[in-house]
Amino acid sequence: MSPLSTRSCCRPAHNFLLQPGCVTTYKGPWTRANCIGNGSPRKQAVNGYSSLSLQSANCSYKAKVVRISKGFKKYGVPVVLNKYSSNSEDGVAWWDLNGKVIEQLSLLYKFSRPHTIIGTVIGITSVSILPVETLLDLSPLFFIGLVKALVPSLLMNIYIVGLNQLFDVEIDKVNKPYLPIASGEFSMRTGITIVLASLVMSLAMGFLFKSPPLLSALLIGFVLGSAYSVELPLLRWKKQPFLAASCILIVRAIVIQFAFFVHMQKFVLGKPLVITKSVVFAAAFMCFFSAVIALFKDIPDVDGDRNFGIRSFSVSLGQQRVFWLCVNMLLMAYGAAVVVGASSFFLLNKLVIILGHCTLAFALWIRARSVDLASNESITSFYMFIWKVSEQTTSGFLLNYA
Residue 378, Cβ neighbours under 10 Å: how many? 14
Chosen domain end from 87, 104, 126: 87
Domain of 47, in residue numbers: 4-87
Q: Tell me, yes or no, whether 155 and 183 share the same domain.
A: yes
Q: How far apart are CA 259 and CA 262, in angstroms?
A: 5
Query: Do 75 and 118 belong together in one domain?
Result: no
User: Into how many domains does the chain fold?
Assistant: 3
Give, in order, the Cα–Cα distances in Å from 248 to each of 128, 159, 245, 360: 20, 15, 5, 23
Residue 394's pLDDT is: 57
> Is 222 within the bounds of a domain?
yes
- Domain assignment present for 292: no
Q: Angle, nearest 10°, between helix axes 140-167 and 89-111?
A: 80
| 270-279: burial string, b at 16+ Cβ within 10 Å, e else | eeeeeeeebb
- Do 98 and 179 sit in the same domain of this protein? yes
Angle, vertex CA 288, rays to CA 287 and CA 294, nearest 5 = 85
Residues 113 and 146 in one domain: yes
Task: Say if residue 81 is in the same domain as residue 97.
Answer: no
CB 180 within 8 A of CB 186: yes
107 lies in the same domain as 230: yes
> Per-10-residue mean pLDDT for the chain, 402 residues long?
41 41 44 40 39 41 42 44 48 66 88 88 87 88 95 96 94 90 93 96 96 95 94 88 87 90 93 84 81 85 80 84 90 82 74 82 89 86 80 56 49
Task: Identify the domain boundary among 275, 295, 328.
Answer: 275
Same-domain status, 145 and 81: no
| H, E, C per residue of the chain | CCCEEECCCCCCCECCECCCCCEEEEECCCCCEECCCCCCCCCCCCCCCCEEEEECCCCEEEEEECCCCHHHCCCEEEEEECCCCCCCHHHHHHHHHHHHHHHHHHHHHHHCCHHHHHHHHHHHHHHHHCCCCCHHHCCHHHHHHHHHHHHHHHHHHHHHHHHHHHHCHHHHHHHCCCCHHHHCCCCHHHHHHHHHHHHHHHHHHHHHCCCHHHHHHHHHHHHHHHHHHCCCCCCCHHHCHHHHHHHHHHHHHHHHHHHHHHHHHHHHCCCCCCCCHHHHHHHHHHHHHHHHHHHHCCHHHHHHHHHCCCCCHHHHHCHHHHHHHHHHHHHHHHHHHHHHHHCCCCHHHHHHHHHHHHHHHHHHHHHHHCCCCCCHHHHHHHHHHHHHHHHHHHHHHHHHHC
Residue 7: its pLDDT value, please?
Answer: 39
Cβ of 239: how many Cβ atoms within 10 Å? 16
User: Based on the domain organization, do 96 and 78 belong to the same domain?
Assistant: no
Same domain flag for 388 and 347? yes
Residue 147: what residue type? V
Pairing of strands 23-27, 4-6: antiparallel
Same domain assignment for residues 64 and 121 = no
Instruction: Give the span between the Cα atoms of 61 and 19, in whole angstroms.
Output: 9
Q: Judge whether 30 and 36 are in contact, CB under 8 Å.
A: no
Residue 291 within a domain: no
In a domain, 44, yes or no: yes
- Considering the domain boundaries, does residue 297 fall inside one? no
Tell me what pLDDT residue 396 has.
55
Domain CATH for 266: 1.10.357.140
For residue 295, tell me if it sits in a domain: no
Both 176 and 147 in a single domain? yes
Residue that is last in its domain, among 259, 275, 291: 275
Tell me: do 62 and 181 sit in the same domain.
no
Per-residue pLDDT at 110: 92
Report pLDDT for 81.
45
Helices 277-296 and 241-249 meet at what angle, rounded to 10? 150
Residue 304 lies in a domain: no
- On whether residue 195 sits in a domain, the answer given is yes
